[in-house]
Amino acid sequence: MSSSTHEQKSNHQAGDLSHLAAGGAGTVAHLVARDVLIEYPSPGSDQVTIAVQNCDLVLERGDFVVLVGPSGCGKTTLLNAVAGFVPVTGGVLELDGRPIPGPGPDRAMVFQQPNLLPWRSVLANVTYGLELSKKVKKAEARSQAADLLELVGLADVAQKYPAQLSGGMQARVNLARALAVEPEILLLDEPFAAIDAQTRELMQAELLRICAARDVTALFVTHDITEAAFLADRVCVFGPRPGRIVKEIQVPWGRPRSHDIRRTPEFTALSEEIGDVLYSAIADARAAQLEGAAR
Amino acid sequence: MTTTSSEASVRPVSTSKPAGTPTRRPGGRPRRRRSSWLTEQRVIGTAAVIVALVVWELVALARVKPALILPGPIDVLRAFRDLFSTSAIWTDLWVSAEELLIGLVIATLIGLPVGLLIGWYKRVAYALNPFVNFLYATPRIALTPLLIIWLGIGSSSKIAIVFLMALFPILINTAQGMQSLDQGSVRVARCFGASDLQLFRTVALPGTVPFVASGLRLAVGQALIGVFVAELSGATHGVGLMMSTAGQQFQTSKVFAGLFIFAFAGVTLTAVLRRVEQHFAAWRLGS
């Protein structure tokens, strides 16, 4: 994958990013988050809650970056900001050098719940994004969707309704629907969290295969450490209160990957490293909170 | 990939009738056998009806009350025969059916779009809610004398009553369907950059169909009440009038016959609407 050539650039300093973000289109990193601050008003008071603070992140084309962190740490908020659902209060968040105006078909989101439209057949669910954007003709959309269903292994259920599918199959349709609009970046918000453990591991391998086949850039949010270690080129460990990236960890193995790497000592070591960073960040946040409460 | 094949073979789907496709609904009743007409449900249901008719006939034959007061099913059948031997009943049927259907159609034509508007635009809801709540809480059937004064004892006053009775179930259900859209679907549509119109067309409208369908079914029941009561209050023709006249003349079995005509109309219309609903909501399996 092309990502390997960019990996050195990804381990950036915040300083040399400014010219990248401001420069010509040719040198701009794909997704740039610099010193991002996201606040939202607390319900029932004048105060604001800081969801994300001092957050830096760079994605090159073809990168597969996983944000891992405890629930409620703000990683999903950052993802929602990239998707355009949540405005950024401070700092820079740019896609291809342009600030994010709002939701758009260049960024496709895969949610934890498949959220398939129940009155549409599987095929019609996959063409949904294409229908909305009206960029391609209906017949063309259908044939693209059929190809995608082939890719995710669901060609034979194209005419069924979502209610007739298992959870794992719905997750595949969800993925195919997101890929159908050929997004610049695929945003995944714990897409496999509601799936049973065995299916989840299969889906993870499937996701890597599909991303490789389509040369997808992906930003993946999870709280599952082994999921992060298995999927990512880079793992960004998110710490809570305020949400920020505590550490970026480069994953040592390339692609394609198989389930075998789960059994290697390197995999265990990486999982432990992620876990250590994660738990110490949580402990720090808790200590800070206790200190604040004591005052 | 091994999961796919096993998942895919879960259940073969009959393509001829999507509405009846087997369910995977959690907690749903077990799959119906659709091979034979003679299902358990139908056998027990038919047997129960026969038992009830027999008990009724026995009670009538025992003559606890004179036949004038409590006729048996056979008397009612005889009354049906007498009724349909004259041409007057056809006029009555035609007039009542016309009032019912025209009232229902107008109620749908107005209730559906207004319900959609109320559900879609908050400000329209704010403006119209006082009127809707007022009229919904009022027993609209009580407007009958007023409408007869205004519109006379002909068909138009009946149509107006049917309209008022049927309007609110349709309107309120439609608005509620709009307001209880699945937020997950809305998010997906927005995520793909859907415009308001696209969101309306691809998420709101199809999501509201089941609500509209149940609103229509409620409306049929209300409309039948409307026809009957309106005809009691003064009419020239109609099944309700026929029943009221028969009642005053102690032709009790004829009253029963009228009652069954109303019941039959209600059951038929509801069944038709259920078929329409299944056609539009084949995705709601096992409904």
| Structure letter (DSSP) for residue B234 | S
Residue B284: pLDDT band with limits 50, 70, 90? low
Domain endpoint, select from A161, A182, A203: A182
Let me know whether A279 and A220 are in one domain.
yes
Containing H/E element for B280? Answer: helix B252-280
CA separation, residue B34 to residues A176, B47, B272 (Å): 34, 20, 20
Residues A17 and A32 in one domain: yes
- For A141-194, write each residue's pLDDT tens digit: 888 888 888 877 888 888 888 888 888 888 888 888 888 888 888 888 888 887
Q: What are the beta bridge partners of residue A249?
A: A235
CB contacts, 8 Å: A160 with chain B: 13
Residues A95 and A19 in one domain: yes
A273 CB within 8 Å of a chain B CB: no
Integer Cα distance of B25 and A121 in angstroms: 17
Domain that holds residue A23: 4-106+187-294
Same domain, A142 and A236: no
| Mean pLDDT, residues A14-21 taken together | 41
Cα–Cα distance for residue pair A221/A187, rounded to 1 Å: 8
Q: Do A199 and A73 share a domain, yes or no?
A: yes
Q: Is the same domain home to A193 and A290?
A: yes
Contact B202 A160 (CB under 8 A): no
Q: Band of the pLDDT at A15, cuts 50, 70, 90?
A: very low
Check whether residue A145 and residue A278 sit in a common domain. Answer: no
The number of distinct structural domains making up chain A is: 2
Q: Which residues of A touch B203 (CB under 8 A)?
A: 117
Query: Chain A window 103-122: which residues touch B at a Cβ cutoff of 8 Å?
Result: 103-105, 107-109, 111, 113, 115, 117-120
A187, A188, A124: which is closest to A157 by C-alpha? A124
Please report residues of A whose CB lies closer than 8 A to that of B197.
Answer: none
Through-space distance between the first and last CA atoms of chain A, rounded to whole angstroms? 52
pLDDT at B174 over 90: yes
Residue A15 shares a structural domain with residue A83:
yes
- pLDDT score for A4: 42
Q: What is the pLDDT of residues A72-109, one digit of tens each?
A: 777 788 888 888 888 778 777 788 777 777 787 788 88
What is the CATH classification number for the domain harbouring A19? 3.40.50.300
Alpha-carbon distance of A107 to A273, in angstroms, equals 31
Using a CB-CB cut-off of 8 Å, the residues of chain A touching B7 are 165-166, 168-169
* Residue A36 sits in the same domain as residue A66: yes
Q: What is the pLDDT of residues A219-247, one digit of tens each?
A: 888 888 888 888 888 888 887 777 777 78
Smallest Cα–Cα separation from A94: which of A57, A40, A53? A57
> pLDDT, tens digit, for every residue of A202-213?
888 888 888 888
Cβ-based contacts of A181 with chain B (< 8 Å): 192
CB B216 within 8 A of CB B92: no
User: What is the Cα Rg of chain A in Å?
Assistant: 19
Last residue of a domain, one of A160, A182, A204: A182
- In angstroms, the CA B31 to CA B111 distance is 36
| Domain-ending residue, one of A159, A182, A205 | A182
Secondary structure in 3-state letters for chain A: CCHHHHHHHHCCCCCCHHHHHHCCHHHCCCEEEEEEEEEEECCCCCCEEEEEEEEEEEECCCCEEEEECCCCCCHHHHHHHHHCCCCCCEEEEEECCEECCCCCCCEEEECCCCCCCCCCCHHHHHHHHHHHHCCCCHHHHHHHHHHHHHHCCCHHHCCCCHHHCCHHHHHHHHHHHHHHCCCCEEEEECCCCCCCHHHHHHHHHHHHHHHHHHCCCEEEEECCHHHHHHHCCEEEEEECCCEEEEEEEECCCCCCCCHHHHHCHHHHHHHHHHHHHHHHHHHHHHHHHHHHHHC
Sign of the four-CA dihedral B92, B94, B95, B101: positive
C-alpha distance from A275 to closest chain B C-alpha (Å): 30
Q: How far is A168 from chain B (nearest CA, A)?
A: 9
Q: Establish if A161 touches chain B: CB-CB under 8 angstroms.
A: yes
Chain B interface disruption, residue of A80, A116, A164, most B CBs within 10 A: A164
Say if residue B126's pLDDT is above 90: yes
CB contact under 8 A, A120 and B283: yes
Determine, for residues B184 and A113 on separate chains, whether the beta-carbon distance falls below 8 Å: yes
Task: Print the SS3 string covering B62-81.
Answer: CCCCCCCCCCCHHHHHHHHH
Cα–Cα nearest to A116, from B184, B25, B19: B184
Query: Within this chain, do residues A56 and A95 fall inside the same structural domain, yes or no?
Result: yes
Lowest mean pLDDT among A57-66, B17-26, B219-228, B264-273: B17-26
Mean pLDDT of chain B: 83
- The reported pLDDT for the residue numbered B285 is 56
Mean pLDDT of chain A: 78
CB proximity A166 to B under 8 Å: yes
Residues A191 and A242 in one domain: yes
Contact A165 B11 (CB under 8 A): no
Q: Do A111 and B206 touch (CB under 8 A)?
A: no
**Pair (A209, A85) in one structural domain:** yes
